[in-house]
A and B are shown apart, each in its own frame.
Chain A
């Protein structure tokens, strides 16, 4: 085990791509267990890591998200929310959050949401007198609803590496925590708007809202197709995602008339590129996972957690703190594929429900998108806002607190996660 950990830390520090780090440290551990005979697992494990039928949903979801961004949906969603929420103090701050909520059901990727919404809303917020750092903070902190509310690529990845929960259960489990998080963000935004006297627009114009809403209806059918089909048992996740991708192409070409051949090609190339990152992490996680399973690290982790406290609340809070620290230095997906094979069996062994812990883990690691030093989503929003990163971090503190409160609620109250999946059984 020592050589695997040594290789892992050394390569991580010198900036080797994390997927390669996982493969090489897994191989180092395998060699420690059985010599060079075990090196052959690299081919067999990596191949089996990318053969699952479920994995086809990943390029389909990415493709749908790319198409949505090129179909001009963002402006329509903002217009609708602006017409609806314009009269409330801090209108654009609220519009940002609610538009992210809509987007999360369409794309499920935090950075995609940040770029799409941020490039329009951040300059508009600055013009209305919001500070640039607040505009960046609210955009980034609300974009992380994407991986929580289904469909979510993070959930597909989780279900692919750990077979103790289905992606269907995860999708159902994400709905309530996602809406709770949206409500908490909205409340935080309202308190800040009241404290800082943020501007409001004119009265709500229901006719304008309806006019703005109508063009968004065909796009908002995408999550209905995906979730409705899956939760009603009509389609599998892969089929639903394929259907959504084809529907979105038709929407972009026929309804919105914004999708060109060039746009279609660019979407496909971006899909291949992003899928490559995810598939590499998945393939590599099976090599490291092979070693983790055989080495008994998970058992030792469970014993270690149990030694600290027998109280399940203390145990899960301890793990949450560890996940937040990991998330500060590693991005969400690599963090998930590295720690899940160790922590999930350990927590299940301690008596936690696999689905409950899966959701807590996804929620907590999701914070990695916005926590310093490597919060990719916050960095993206900061770049759009043109403001120093540390100022955006300071402006994000109220939203960090709001996210932490949601994580604590979901951690100590499993029913919040399990109620809907149990209802759908």
Chain B
């Protein structure tokens, strides 16, 4: 992967991540407002359910690309780790092709699906959202995935089970847990 392609893939992933985080926060805000209102007034806000539902397909589909970009998807990789290297490389190339075809299918049939969506999402009597806006999350997810594949991003090596920072335990944490005396000071006990 050239630095230019890496930058494109990275920038796209960063933008999608920010968008997905935004979706989580907006959905959370709407759901919380709805439950808070109901808890204190006993009445339900009519628009919260419909409005929050507009975001879940976007989050659900776009977050797939975020997980993909970071090698998080679950695969049975143990066999490929023990086969001779040429077979492993061939399998890896085949996987890029398979994911590329999958992305193309999402773009082709997703566009058709989005264009043919005729429903309306009724947020309220006044606010109605065309289903095409929501259904277009399918081809867009396909496009993003295809860009990552074409940029040659490493999609198939899973990250380490534990990140580097995961095992860091401070002396204060041990004291808090009642597993070390509070008097002595010791910097950064390692968990491993």
A residues within 8 Å of B by Cβ?
A: 11-20, 23-24, 27, 39-40, 42-44, 46-47, 49-53, 55-56, 59-60, 63, 72, 74-76, 78-79, 82-83, 111, 115, 118-120, 122-124, 208, 212, 234-235, 238-240, 242-243, 245-246, 265, 268-269, 271-277, 279-283, 329-331, 333-334, 373-374, 376, 379-380, 383-386
A379 to B72, CA, bound (A): 16
Q: Do B178 and A280 touch across chains, with their CB atoms under 8 A apart?
A: no
Give the secondary structure class of B's interface.
helix
Determine the residue in chain A with the shortest Cβ distance to B139: A43
B residues within 8 Å of A by Cβ?
A: 17, 20-21, 24-25, 27-28, 31-32, 34-36, 38-39, 49, 52-53, 56-57, 59-61, 63-68, 70, 72-80, 91-92, 94-95, 98-99, 101-102, 105-106, 109-110, 112-114, 135, 137-139, 156, 161-162, 166-169, 173-174, 176-179, 189-192
Among candidates B35, B59, B76, B178, residue contacting A212 with C-beta atoms closer than 8 Å: B178
- Chain B neighbourhood of A42, CB < 8 A: 105-106, 109-110
Q: Do B56 and A51 touch across chains, with their CB atoms under 8 A apart?
A: yes
Q: Do B169 and A240 touch across chains, with their CB atoms under 8 A apart?
A: no
- Chain A neighbourhood of B92, CB < 8 A: 15
A78 to B175, CA, bound (A): 11
Give the secondary structure class of A's interface.
helix
Question: In the complex, which of the residues A13, A18, A51, A60 has the most CB atoms of chain B within 10 Å of its own CB atom?
Answer: A51
Among candidates B98, B135, B162, residue contacting A47 with C-beta atoms closer than 8 Å: B135
Q: Do A50 and B60 touch across chains, with their CB atoms under 8 A apart?
A: yes
Q: Do B109 and A273 touch across chains, with their CB atoms under 8 A apart?
A: no
Question: In the complex, which of the residues A19, A43, A76, A373 has the most CB atoms of chain B within 10 Å of its own CB atom?
Answer: A43
Among candidates B79, B80, B112, B176, residue contacting A40 with C-beta atoms closer than 8 Å: B112
Determine the residue in chain A with the shortest Cβ distance to B101: A24
Q: Do B75 and A16 touch across chains, with their CB atoms under 8 A apart?
A: yes
- Chain B neighbourhood of A53, CB < 8 A: 49, 52-53, 56
* Nearest CB in chain A: distance from B154 CB, A: 13
A373 to B35, CA, bound (A): 44
- Chain B neighbourhood of A331, CB < 8 A: 74
- Chain B neighbourhood of A79, CB < 8 A: 176-178
* Nearest CB in chain A: distance from B66 CB, A: 5
Among candidates B76, B112, B190, residue contacting A43 with C-beta atoms closer than 8 Å: B112
A268 to B68, CA, bound (A): 17
Determine the residue in chain B with the shortest Cβ distance to A19: B73
- Chain A neighbourhood of B34, CB < 8 A: 239
Among candidates A83, A273, A283, residue contacting B72 with C-beta atoms closer than 8 Å: A273
- Chain A neighbourhood of B39, CB < 8 A: 234-235
Q: A75-B173, A119-B191, A269-B21 are in contact. List 5 more A-B contacts (CB 8 A).
A: A15-B75, A18-B74, A24-B101, A43-B114, A75-B177
